[in-house]
Amino acid sequence: MNALRPAADDRTQRKIAAALAQDVDTAFEPFVRAYQDRLFAYALNLTANPALAEEVAQDTFVAAYRALRKYPPSRRRSLALRAWLYTIALNRVRNLARSPASKVVSLDGRATPDRQLAFQLVEPGTGPAIQAEHHETLGELRAALGRLDLRYRGAVVLRHIEGREYAEISRVLGQPVGTVKSNVHRGLALLRADLQRRGHAQRYSALG
């Protein structure tokens, strides 16, 4: 998974939120550096389109900057930054998906740079044979994920790729925890069925 260890991630969020509370303009660049890769990976899993994911990430930071400039320092200090950013990004993706010309479509397995791969299934430094299998598995999982309805895709990405707790997912998605759990369960069942139909069921355990 791409997520930092929870304690380290929490410290990072508190530190950046405190800096933003003091001065948005000075703290915004470190804020972007801290979250840009994870935000891009999250957007990629939702959009299945690297160019569109880049656009979503950029739009998210623009919207975040504008909002931060309007918030009082006390609110900036109290923000759960990761969940807040993900909510902005998800709303952008939802709006794009409603467009008749939407490019938020199923994944097609196209190769992308390593930083864009949200699934981390093997340890760095493994041999070429394992790495080749790793990339093949990535393609299968990414394709199956991209065929999910966005409501299931968003829940599965946050739970089983980002590794987030249900309470945080509930805040990001704007849904009750019970609904989130149901969508995660249903999304995983649909993924399993998809992979089984395509002969990839033996690799399903890679999702955790």
pLDDT tens-digit readout, 34-64: 999 999 989 988 887 889 999 999 999 999 9
**Side chain identity at residue 108, one-letter code:** D
State pTM to two decimals: 0.73
The three-state secondary structure class of 104 is coil
Tokens coding 171:
């805040």
Q: Distance between CA atoms of 153 and 47, rounded to whole angstroms?
A: 10
Q: Distance between CA atoms of 135 and 121, rounded to whole angstroms?
A: 9
- Domains plus CATH for the chain? 1-102 (1.10.1740.10), 121-208 (1.10.10.10)
pLDDT tens-digit readout, 1-22: 444 455 667 888 999 999 999 9
